[in-house]
Amino acid sequence: MKIAIASGKGGTGKTTVSTNLAKYLSEIRQVVLVDLDVEEPNSGLFLKGELVNRQEMYKAIPQWEASTCTLCGNCQKVCNFNSIMKLGDNIMVFPELCHSCYACSELCPTHSLPMTKLKMGELTEYKMDELNFISSKLDIGQEQAVPLIAQTIRYVDERFPDSILKLYDSPPGTSCPVIEATKEADFVLLVTEPTPFGLHDLKLAVETMRELGIGFAVIINRFGIGDAEVEKYCEREGIDLVAKIPNQREIATLYSRGELIYPHIPEFKRELELIADYCNRLQKEMSL
Ligand code: SF4
Ligand code: SF4
- Check which CATH number belongs to the domain holding 33 and give it: 3.40.50.300
Q: Could you tell me the CATH number of the domain that includes residue 106?
A: 3.30.70.20
Rounded to the nearest angstrom, the distance between the alpha carbon of 111 and the centre of ligand 2 is 14
For ligand 1, atom 8, name the residue with the nearest CA: 69
The residue among 95, 113, 131 that closes a domain is 113
Residues 6+ apart with CB under 8 A from 141: 96
**For a substitution probing ligand 1, which of 63, 65, 72 has the most ligand atoms within 8 Å of its CB?**
72
Residues 184, 229 within the same domain: yes
Three-state DSSP at 273 gives helix
Residue 223 is classified by DSSP as: E
- The predicted pLDDT at position 9 comes to 73
Residues 23, 89 within the same domain: no
Check: CB of residue 266 under 8 Å from CB of residue 28.
no
- What is the pTM for the complete model shown? 0.88
- The predicted pLDDT at position 142 comes to 82
Check: CB of residue 191 under 8 Å from CB of residue 5.
yes
Residues 167, 26 within the same domain: yes
d(CA 99, CA 85): 15
Which atom from ligand 1 is nearest to the alpha carbon of 64?
7
Residues 268, 238 within the same domain: yes
Question: Is residue 99 within 6 Å of ligand 2 at its C-beta?
Answer: yes
Residues 19, 95 within the same domain: no
pLDDT along the chain (288 residues), means of 10: 86 90 93 94 87 95 96 97 94 91 96 95 94 94 87 94 91 83 90 93 93 94 92 96 94 92 94 93 81
Residues 281, 226 within the same domain: yes
Domain boundaries, position 126 = 2-58+120-287
Which atom from ligand 2 is nearest to the alpha carbon of 84?
5
For ligand 1, atom 2, name the residue with the nearest CA: 108
d(CA 114, CA 25): 45
Which residues sit with their C-beta closer than 6 Å to ligand 1? 69-75, 86, 91, 108-110, 112-113
- The predicted pLDDT at position 33 comes to 96
Residue 158: burial class (beta carbons within 10 Å; 0-12, 13-18, 19+): exposed
For ligand 2, atom 8, name the residue with the nearest CA: 79
- The predicted pLDDT at position 237 comes to 96
Residues 163, 271 within the same domain: yes
* Number of independent structural domains in the chain: 2
Q: What share of the chain is helix, strand, coil (3-state, %, to 5)?
A: 35, 30, 35
The residue among 94, 113, 132 that closes a domain is 113
1, 201, 268 from 27: Cα distances, Å: 18, 33, 17
Question: Is residue 94 within 6 Å of ligand 2 at its C-beta?
Answer: no
Considering only CA atoms, give the Rg of the chain.
21
Residues 142, 231 within the same domain: yes
Residues 102, 201 within the same domain: no
Residues 219, 154 within the same domain: yes
Pairing outcome for strands 215-223 and 187-192: parallel
Q: Which backbone phi and psi does 231 adopt, to 5 degrees?
A: -60, -45
